[in-house]
């Protein structure tokens, strides 16, 4: 057991947790600004242009970009199946900032959520012992996985358009998290190409352009979710979807290896279930910003 825990790279751990901190703080600031955006900007790139006029949103976005940069460095040093569960702890940092602003005590719900999230990450990493592999060369399998993820995101976005004030924010957040999971996988591939052949090798492939396109699309989806509902309805779904999609891409596209004996698989499944349960409990904590709820009710009256 001691050997298994030591197999986790300390630099990767520090980088991933630093990335999670930046992402968590950034999401809170972004949502606080996005709820003030014009209602007509929903699912439109114009939303980003309007948000760019808000200093708080720019600060949150700067933190998010810093988090993505640190996450990219972590992905370059460690396996996607290891980094993704660690990035999911961004919700802890979002809760820390929210508690500082609302003065809400952590309470039983907060402590249970914290224990489930931390225990789930530990159980998955220790039981699975993620190890690196080589990107799979089978183009059919690659495009089936990427196409399936993007297709799922499009399907969820379509449903979200029809239910934007009820389940729409959660659906958009799941769609964005799915795209971010694919983006993380392609970020790791881009890093490998850069390390092997420099900038020329990197820019000659399609992966960095796909990373940029997925990032912008995911940003529009996330900000639209933040605009229409409180953080409780969107951030848990985003935080849960991204590591699940990322782990699937890590194993399916990049050849990441996890232990597959019966005991290990049981602990891995239990760990992922605990991560999701902890995310939901923390995301629904009363300390999370509620600002979008009243606005959503006003919009509902107007559209009704």
Q: What is the pLDDT of residues 58-111, one digit of tens each?
A: 999 999 999 999 998 998 888 888 888 889 888 888 888 887 777 777 788 888
d(CA 154, CA 162): 13
Q: Please report which confidence band the pLDDT of residue 301 belongs to, taking 50, 70 and 90 as the band edges.
A: very low
| Residue 128 or residue 294, greater confidence | 128
Contacts of 56 (CB under 8 A, 6+ apart): 29, 32, 33
- Report residue 257: phi and psi, to 5°: -115, 135
Beta-bridge mates of residue 131: 257
Q: Which of 163, 104, 160 lies closest to 284 in space, CA to CA?
A: 104
d(CA 69, CA 96): 22
**What average pLDDT score do residues 175-199 get?**
90
Do 275 and 124 meet the contact criterion of CB atoms below 8 Å apart? yes
pLDDT above 90 for 26: yes
Q: Please report which confidence band the pLDDT of residue 195 belongs to, taking 50, 70 and 90 as the band edges.
A: confident
The label of the residue with tokens 């980088």 reads: 15
Give tens-digit pLDDT for 230-253.
777 888 889 889 888 988 888 888
Do 31 and 56 meet the contact criterion of CB atoms below 8 Å apart? no
**What average pLDDT score do residues 284-300 get?**
57
Q: Please report which confidence band the pLDDT of residue 21 belongs to, taking 50, 70 and 90 as the band edges.
A: very high
């Amino acid at each position: 057991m001691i050997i298994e825990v030591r197999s986790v790279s300390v630099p990767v751990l520090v980088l991933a947790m630093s990335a999670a901190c930046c992402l968590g703080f950034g999401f809170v600031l972004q949502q606080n600004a996005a709820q003030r955006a014009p209602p007509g900007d929903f699912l439109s790139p114009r939303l980003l242009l309007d948000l760019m006029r808000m200093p708080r949103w720019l600060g949150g976005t700067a933190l998010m970009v810093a988090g993505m940069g640190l996450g990219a460095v972590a992905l370059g040093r460690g396996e996607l199946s290891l980094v993704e569960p660690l990035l999911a702890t961004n919700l802890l940092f979002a809760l820390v900032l929210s508690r500082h602003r609302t003065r809400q005590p952590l309470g039983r719900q907060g402590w249970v959520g914290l224990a489930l999230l931390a225990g789930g990450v530990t159980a998955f990493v220790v039981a699975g012992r993620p190890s690196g592999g080589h990107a799979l060369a089978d183009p059919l399998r690659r495009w089936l996985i990427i196409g399936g993820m993007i297709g799922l995101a499009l399907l969820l976005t379509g449903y979200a358009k029809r239910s934007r004030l009820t389940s729409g924010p959660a659906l958009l957040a799941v769609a964005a998290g799915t795209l971010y999971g694919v983006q993380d996988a392609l970020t790791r591939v881009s890093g490998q190409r850069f390390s092997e052949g420099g900038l020329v090798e990197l820019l000659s492939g399609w992966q960095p352009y796909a990373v940029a396109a997925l990032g912008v699309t995911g940003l529009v989806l996330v900000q639209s979710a933040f605009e229409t509902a409180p953080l409780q309805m969107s951030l848990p779904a985003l935080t849960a979807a991204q590591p699940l999609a990322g782990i699937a891409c890590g194993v399916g596209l990049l050849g990441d290896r996890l232990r597959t004996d019966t005991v290990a698989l049981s602990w891995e499944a239990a760990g992922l279930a605990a991560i999701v349960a902890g995310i939901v409990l923390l995301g629904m904590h009363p300390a999370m910003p509620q600002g979008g709820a009243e606005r959503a009710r006003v919009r509902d009256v107007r559209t009704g």
